[in-house]
Amino acid sequence: MRLNRFASFVFALVLSAVATAPSFAQPPAPPQGAGPGGPGGPPAAGNGGVPAFFGGPPHKPGGPVQHLADGHPDMQGFWNAANNGGAVFELQNHPTGRRPFFGPGKGAIVDPADGFIPYQPAAKAKAQDLFEHDLAEEPELHCYESGVPKQMYVQFGFQIFQPANYVVLTWEFMHAYRIIPTDGRPHIPANIKLFQGDSVGHWEGDTLVVDTTNLNDRTWYDTVGNFHSDAEHVVERFTPVDTNTIKYEATVEDPKVLTKPFKMEMELDKSSDSKYEQMEFGCIEGNQDVKHYTKDKGGAADVKVK
């Protein structure tokens, strides 16, 4: 997937040029060829060998799941969606790729089994039309938050916090966040539509189950026009597998767009870099980020701890 990811960065940059929108802070492409799982590199690890974080070590399984004083599993730390068949670029099966932008991949949809979004006919035509004519409408090019579920598999990872009665997630990308109360409160009224929706959670054993409604229709599932309506309803399940791994599942309903719900699955991997911190990510402010990457990672910054 290395080359595909690289091609996709180029794709995103091309798109931003087309849209005359600010170009995102894309990190330097990972070095080609020598990484684990890459050509000439050591064998792939469980996630295909792609590092959970750029420049970080490949993902390794951790120890037994630990629990906090409140009895819930401790999922705090920095996480990133593992190589999930290029889902951030195209969520559904893309057996021939979306050339010239990027190559084939399976996406992250496990139900239906063919991996395709079960669109109603008119919606399928609209998604194709968006791909062919309106890629400049890609919401993140306009510095919008990514919505649910896409927020979970954007690049650069996220941090999980577990203060009492909440799970809170923050992303470097677009400085997005999600606040998930787990105190049993109801959803807000349906007429309030939000980019990130309204999420309420509860625990089923070690699994965090999150129900999200109130989503607006201004985000996509990926970068190639796969879209949803404001009737989208998402149920996510976060199940810790070990200290370094979470199984993520999301079931998506959208009666205005889909013939039936679909389900996606992906692995979330924890960063093993104990000094990892999120950087500030400007978007509409202009790309200030490249210089924040250290010189050894291709940036201009001489960042060091005092």
Verify cis geometry, omega within 30 degrees of 0, for the bond prior to 39: no
Quick check: 229 binds another protein (CB under 8 A)?
A: no
Among 3, 143, 235, 241, the residue binding another protein under the rule CB under 8 A is 143
Bridge partners of residue 239, in order along the sequence: 247
Contact range with another protein by CB under 8 A, out of 1-9, 78-86, 107-115, 157-165: 157-165
Residues 144, 173, 227, 262: which binds another protein (CB under 8 A)? Answer: 144
Give the up-direction half-sphere exposure of residue 273: CA atoms within 13 A in the CB hemisphere. 17
Q: Is 195 in the site for another protein (CB under 8 A)?
A: yes
Q: Tell me which residue of 256, 190, 249 sits closest to 227, measured CA to CA.
A: 256
Q: How far is 266 from 54, CA to CA, in rounded Å? A: 18
**Which region, judged by CB under 8 A, interacts with another protein, from 3-11, 47-55, 143-151, 250-258?**
143-151
Taking the complex as a whole, how short is the minimal distance between the CB of residue 74 and another protein, in angstroms?
10
Q: Counting contacts by CB under 8 A, is residue 32 touching another protein?
A: no
DSSP, res 56:
S
Nearer to another protein by C-beta: 3 or 65? 65
- Exactly one of 26, 76, 207, 229 binds another protein (CB under 8 A); that residue is 76
Indicate which single residue of 229, 278, 287, 298 sits in contact with another protein (rule: CB under 8 A).
278
**Sole binder of another protein in the list 126, 247, 292, 297 (CB under 8 A):** 292
Question: 260: how many CB neighbours lie within 10 A of its CB?
Answer: 10
Distances (CA, A) of 63 to 139, 157, 243, 244, 270: 38, 21, 5, 8, 12
Cis-peptide into 112, omega within 30 deg? yes
Task: Give the separation between CA 86 and CA 102, rounded to whole angstroms.
Answer: 9
Smallest gap from Cβ 194 to another protein, in A, equals 5
Determine phi and psi for 7, rounding to 5 degrees.
Answer: -60, -35
Distance CA 182, CA 109 (A): 27
Among 13, 34, 122, 192, binds another protein (CB under 8 A): 192
Applying CB under 8 A, the span of 27-35, 90-98, 118-126, 164-172 interacting with another protein comes to 164-172
- Residues in the site for another protein, rule: CB under 8 A? 69-70, 76, 137, 139, 142-145, 159, 161-164, 166, 168, 170, 174-177, 179, 188, 192, 194-196, 198, 218, 277-280, 282, 284-285, 288, 292, 301-306
